[in-house]
Copies of this chain bind each other. A is one copy, B any other.
Amino acid sequence: VAVVVHGGSETTFGYDRLVIATGARCKRPVSVPSAQSPGVFCLRTMEDGFAIEAHIRDKKPVSVLIVGGGYVGVEMADALARRGMSVTLCGRGVLGTIDPSLGEIVIEELGRHDVHVINASVTGVTGQSDDLGVSLSDGGIEKAEMVLFAAGVEPSTELSRGAGANFGESGAIAVSRGMETSVAGIYAAGDCAETWHRLLERSVYLPLGTSSHKQGRIAGENAAGGAAEYQGTLGTQVVKVFDLAVARTGLSDREASDEGYAPLTVEVSCPDCAGYYPGSHQMRFRLTADSRTGQLLGAQIVGDWRAQVAKRVDVLATAIHHRMRVQDLEHLDLSYTPPLGTPWDPVQVAAHSWMKA
């Protein structure tokens, strides 16, 4: 491998085993002429973060337009609105990782905090400096003093391409469950590589920090002579948006259907703790299982950020890991106290609702 040390000369290192962990980089859905660059940002690296921070400190922009309604988009909408900026979020929907009925709750929460959501894609950056803006697929132009691209990531794969490794359909590096690429002795892990999906039983591109950590350990162990095997992702994920936590695990109804399952999905509202207890909120829960076998396939929850949404999804992730049936969820001995839950946890309330559907 040839390594160029920052600002220095090229050095070549040999290796017995190589682990590629080159990560991913921001997608830019439109090209941005360099003349327009001041005030236009991505957010991926620490340097990106420092640049955004410096720009806000020095230029004091009062408005920002965020391109993309995924996790980074909504988290930055939250962060910048808290700093007092006027925030507009442009994208084809918000949080495409959850179903639209739950996405509506997130859009309401954004609205409650004065984040303006525009349901259109961005076709280009217009103007510059004091006249900066973006053109939209609906023909409009939206002005803002700062533009932030949060339109997803793509794997950084140049190094592995040079090494002759194969790629999956996703464009990420194809790896075995031992995290080895198609080239013996070369491993890849993290956002540059594909991820084994435990339910789909095939590789997908699902760049998440949790999977990256697991893959990195396995690649490292195997590069050092081990024989560890990645047990697979369920796509478990959570994001906090103002006062909401939004979490999912497994497959959505549509994803399950596309994979040949016969999914049945129920959506229930239930209190996140005893209804009489101060601070009780409704939690919205979608539960998906195969209607023929009852096999649990997925869950999505939106609720107050103090309502243990993330770890309730984790109970389901643990259940799906063990290929539990929805009928068996009611047998789980889950904890209860009035300030923090209900005698049948929402996980079980959703299961009861599914069984009646």
Contact = CB atoms under 8 A, between A and B. Distances in A.
A325 interface: no
Interface string A325-355: 0001011111111011101110000000000
Interface in A242-300: 245, 247, 249
Contacts of A213: 343-344
Given A315-B315, A318-B319, A321-B332, 15 more contacts: A71-B337, A210-B333, A212-B343, A213-B343, A235-B333, A236-B335, A238-B335, A238-B337, A247-B335, A249-B335, A308-B308, A310-B337, A310-B341, A317-B335, A322-B324
A237 to B, nearest CB: 6
A209 interface: yes
Interface residues on A, range: 35 or more
A44 interface: no
Contacts of A236: 333-335
A214 B341 CA distance: 16
Nearest to A340: B310
Contact of A238 (B212, B235, B331, B340): B340
Nearest to A301: B335
12 contacts: A210-B333, A214-B331, A231-B331, A235-B333, A238-B337, A240-B337, A240-B339, A247-B335, A249-B333, A310-B337, A315-B315, A318-B322
A343 B236 CA distance: 12
A317 B344 contact: no
Q: List the number of copies, as a whole number.
A: 2
A150 interface: no
Contacts of A210: 333-336, 343
Instruction: Give chain A's interface secondary structure class.
Output: mixed
A232 interface: yes
Interface centre among A71, A321, A335 (most CB of B within 10 A): A335
Nearest to A323: B322
A198 interface: yes
A312 interface: yes
A-B CB proximity, top 9 nearest: A311-B311, A231-B331, A238-B335, A308-B311, A318-B318, A234-B333, A240-B339, A236-B333, A322-B322
A314 interface: yes
Contacts of A332: 314, 317-318, 321
A190 to B, nearest CB: 12
A313 interface: yes
Contacts of A156: none
A211 interface: yes
A256 B2 CA distance: 55
Contacts of A234: 333
B318 A240 contact: no
Contacts of A337: 71, 237-240, 245, 310
Interface centre among A234, A314, A341 (most CB of B within 10 A): A314
Nearest to A347: B314
A49 B318 CA distance: 39
A92 B267 CA distance: 47
Contacts of A28: none
Interface centre among A209, A305, A331 (most CB of B within 10 A): A331
A306 interface: yes
A222 interface: no
